């Protein structure tokens, strides 16, 4: 059986230390049967090994590159290009937490961001934490949403390239967020997603009421959204890529064929099959075997 070992170095790296990985693998009797340069800082190694080799491959690679700032992924070679992407929004596709930025306009960012951090680390349940934070924003004027989007919300580097490239190759792309539809609708349009789902803030026409529509889209709802898309497309979980940074992304990340923790909390990085700590969202394309020549830059 063949496996892909993908190495992605950060933009400021001098080189990709593939020789270190090759040496470590060959020292364990594993054959490197191919090498492909995906980009200036991304390399694919093709490994020949037994059907049961995957559990020991990743620890070997991790140990080999432990002194380098390097993102790695080890997976079966076949089926790497996914037919469905389900992505978290806050701190994944965009570089902020929208609720925390709303709180900043209300003068409540320290209090609310502390709750956000605990929820994303999995220290407290997501749903009650969301209700608590939204309640603190009661009477916030609706124009704060527009000001937050216009001044605070920015796509993370590589977001448009990720979506455009996967869509060009026939994949469906969905933004599934524990945040709010006001933001997901706009971010999805800006990035090019096919669809988006999120929670709904309730207002009285002028101000937030401090309530969120039930049921809340949290960890289990994200997993349900992934499963629904799989069924609609007539594919399997192996055909999917899920990416996120917080504990409420864990269920969908663990169910997907390729689950990626993106600049994530430790609990997520430890559970995901791959973790992007240094690169931008283009790294998700390299993990699927796309080269720079195939990446669409809108």
Compute the distance between CA of residue 238 and CA of residue 27 in angstroms, rounded to an integer.
Answer: 30
Neighbours of 158 (CB within 10 A): 19
The 8-class DSSP code of residue 247 comes to: G
pTM surpassing 0.75?
yes
Beta-strand relationship, 240-244 and 208-212? unpaired
Q: Which fold has domain 1-78?
A: Alpha-Beta Plaits (3.30.70)
Instruction: Reply yes or no on whether 100 is catalytic.
Output: no
Token digits for 160?
A: 């448009």
Catalytic residue of the set 44, 71, 90, 280: 90
Would the pLDDT of 135 be above 90?
A: yes
Beta-strand relationship, 42-48 and 2-8? antiparallel
Would the pLDDT of 176 be above 90?
A: yes
For range 230-258, the mean pLDDT: 98
- The model's confidence at residue 14, banded by pLDDT at 50, 70 and 90, is confident
Task: Give 162's contacts (C-beta < 8 A, 6+ positions apart).
Answer: 85, 281, 282, 284, 285
Token digits for 222?
A: 């994200």
Task: Give 36's contacts (C-beta < 8 A, 6+ positions apart).
Answer: 43, 44, 46, 289, 291
Summarize pLDDT for 115-129 with one digit per residue, the tens. Answer: 999 999 999 999 999
Compute the distance between CA of residue 289 and CA of residue 273 in angstroms, rounded to an integer.
Answer: 16
Superfamily of domain 81-298, CATH level 4: HAD superfamily/HAD-like (3.40.50.1000)
Instruction: Reply yes or no on whether 90 is catalytic.
Output: yes
What's the pLDDT at 13? 85
Question: In sequence order, what DSSP letters do the residues of 173-200 get, joined into one string?
Answer: EEEEEEEEHHHHHHHHHHHT-SEEEEE-
Domain ranges of the chain: 1-78, 81-298
Summarize pLDDT for 143-169 with one digit per residue, the tens. Answer: 999 999 999 999 999 999 999 999 999
Compute the distance between CA of residue 251 and CA of residue 120 in angstroms, rounded to an integer.
Answer: 13
Q: Which stretches within the chain are classed as H helix? A: 18-27, 54-64, 98-105, 109-120, 126-135, 143-152, 159-168, 181-191, 219-233, 250-255, 266-271, 283-287
For range 167-192, the mean pLDDT: 98
Give me the chain's average pLDDT, please. Answer: 96
Token digits for 207?
A: 């101000």
Catalytic residue of the set 44, 71, 88, 245: 88
Residue 215 backbone dihedrals phi, psi, to 5 degrees: -75, 150
What's the pLDDT at 12? 85
What's the pLDDT at 21? 95
- The model's confidence at residue 16, banded by pLDDT at 50, 70 and 90, is confident
Would the pLDDT of 281 be above 90?
A: yes
Question: Is the distance from CB of 114 to CB of 129 less than 8 angstroms?
Answer: no
The Cα diameter of the chain in Å comes to 67
């Amino acid at each position: 059986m063949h496996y892909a070992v993908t190495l992605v170095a950060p933009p400021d790296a001098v080189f990709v230390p593939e020789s270190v990985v090759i040496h470590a693998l060959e020292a364990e009797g594993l054959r490197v049967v191919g090498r492909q340069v995906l980009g200036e800082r991304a390399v694919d190694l093709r490994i020949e090994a037994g059907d049961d080799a995957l559990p020991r491959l990743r620890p070997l690679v991790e140990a080999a590159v432990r002194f380098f700032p390097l993102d790695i992924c080890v997976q079966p070679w076949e089926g790497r290009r996914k037919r469905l992407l389900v992505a978290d929004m806050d701190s994944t596709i965009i570089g902020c937490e929208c609720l925390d930025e709303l709180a900043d306009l209300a003068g409540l960012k320290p209090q609310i961001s502390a709750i956000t951090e605990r929820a994303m680390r999995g220290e407290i349940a997501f749903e009650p934490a969301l209700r608590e934070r939204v309640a603190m924003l009661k009477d916030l004027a609706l124009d704060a949403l527009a000001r937050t989007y216009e001044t605070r919300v920015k796509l993370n580097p590589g977001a448009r390239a990720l979506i455009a490239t996967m869509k060009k190759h026939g994949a469906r792309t969905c933004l599934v967020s524990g945040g709010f539809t006001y933001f997901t609708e706009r971010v999805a349009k800006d990035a090019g997603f096919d669809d988006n789902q999120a929670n709904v803030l309730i207002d009285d026409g002028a101000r937030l009421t401090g309530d969120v529509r039930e049921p809340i889209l949290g960890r289990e709802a994200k997993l349900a959204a992934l499963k629904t898309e799989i069924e609609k497309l007539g594919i399997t979980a192996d055909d999917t890529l899920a990416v996120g940074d917080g504990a409420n992304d864990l269920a969908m990340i663990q169910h997907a064929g390729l689950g990626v923790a993106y600049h994530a909390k430790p609990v997520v990085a430890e559970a995901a099959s791959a973790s992007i700590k240094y690169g931008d969202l283009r790294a998700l394309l390299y993990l699927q075997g796309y080269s720079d020549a195939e990446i669409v830059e809108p």
